Amino acid sequence: MIERLKRFINNGDLRKVRFYTQLITFLLFVYGGYFAISFGSSFPIFVCPFNSESAATCYLISLQHQLARPTEVIFSMASLGVLIGLVTFIAWFAVLNKAWCGYMCPFGTLQDWITALRKRMGIRFSTYTQNEFENLSKIKYIFLAIILLVPLFMGLGMLDREWFHAFCQMCPARIISPMFVGDFSQWMIDFSSVTIMILTSIGVAFAGLFFIGSFVKKRFFCFFCPMSALHYIFAKFSIIRFTKEGDKCTRCGDCYAVCDMQIKDIADDVISKDILRDDCILCLKCVAACPEDDALHFDIFNVKAFSSTKEGFAKRMGIEKPRDKK
Ligand code: SF4
Ligand code: SF4
Ligand code: SF4
């Protein structure tokens, strides 16, 4: 029975599973408010509270808000509620970790839909060189530092209120998320002070760049996303593991060919067992594309939940017989 279930999962059509999961979670998170659905405000994905109808909200705004409190308040009983929010936020990382990005984040889904549109129009996508890729993917840690340090400096009285949720002022999700419920009011530059003007100008520029970038480059924004950096930092505490059995890998490169995040190690690294990398979105497209039994697998509590198999590969490719090992 268990073997049959495993076979069913490993031979399944991952593309369909992912498409419908992303569609359902997008509708739920972005429009859930219309149906009085509320999942709270501790989510490790970009479901922006600036969209008045979202059913859940990204925790980064609360995190910045709380860190900006005076130090004596942070370490008082008044912070108990904050602590609960923070623990919930971290717990979500532990449950799905980067699978939030591959399957649930509306902002990730939107980028995939823009990619699908480009494909339909027959326009080729562009890629980064390995050097560009390595440099660009560091930017997310700069944003993460802004999220954590700016409010702390505010709390210490070193920065004034103009810096209030500085990252959100620059975040394209603040501008784009409300558009889905017909609210375009965030497309503006706030001239109330020089700092706010600079931050909101960056936000508008980044939102414009989001659409252009996502059209030419798969998951353009995810390379810069500070939430992705946080996911990676907490990955060690997650109940899920993304594993590679190097001795079963033939380095055919099929996994790298389908990876939207250009993670070269997925094909090249035959040493590390833990193959989760900084930019991975745990879409598992590489597992579905791998033609070798158990070379790649996604585990929950150390139990294989989805593995690469010759049979699954052959089925997905529409070929009768599994590819023979060379
Ligand atoms: S990395 Fe992409 S999918 Fe993940 S939270 Fe950021 S925007 Fe969303
Ligand atoms: S597709 Fe599988 S066998 Fe091929 S390089 Fe990737 S992990 Fe190795
Ligand atoms: S390494 Fe695999 S799971 Fe990670 S982003 Fe690339 S294809 Fe998706």
Report pLDDT digits (tens) over 45-92: 898 889 999 998 888 888 888 888 776 666 666 667 667 778 888 888
β-pairing verdict for 240-244 and 296-300: antiparallel
Q: Report pLDDT for 252.
A: 96
Asked whether the beta carbons of 45 and 26 are under 8 A apart, the reply is no
Q: Report pLDDT for 134.
A: 79
The closest-lying atom of ligand 2 relative to the alpha carbon of residue 268 is 5
pLDDT at 265 over 60: yes
pLDDT for 209-241, tens place per residue? 999 999 989 999 999 999 999 999 999 889 999
Average pLDDT over residues 163-187: 94
Q: Report pLDDT for 115.
A: 94
Average pLDDT over residues 19-31: 96
Asked whether the beta carbons of 308 and 258 are under 8 A apart, the reply is no
pLDDT at 323 over 80: no
Q: Which ligand is nearest to the CA of 231?
A: 1
200 CA distance to ligand 2 centroid (A)? Answer: 44
Report the distance separating Cα 244 and Cα 267, nearest Å: 10
pLDDT for 104-124, tens place per residue? 999 999 999 999 999 999 888
Asked whether the beta carbons of 136 and 223 are under 8 A apart, the reply is yes
Q: Report pLDDT for 77.
A: 65
pLDDT at 326 over 60: no
Q: Whose CA is nearest to atom 4 of ligand 1?
A: 101
Report the distance separating Cα 286 and Cα 306, nearest Å: 11
Q: Report pLDDT for 78.
A: 63
Asked whether the beta carbons of 183 and 52 are under 8 A apart, the reply is yes
Report the distance separating Cα 164 and Cα 155, nearest Å: 10
pLDDT at 174 over 50: yes
267 CA distance to ligand 2 centroid (A)? Answer: 5
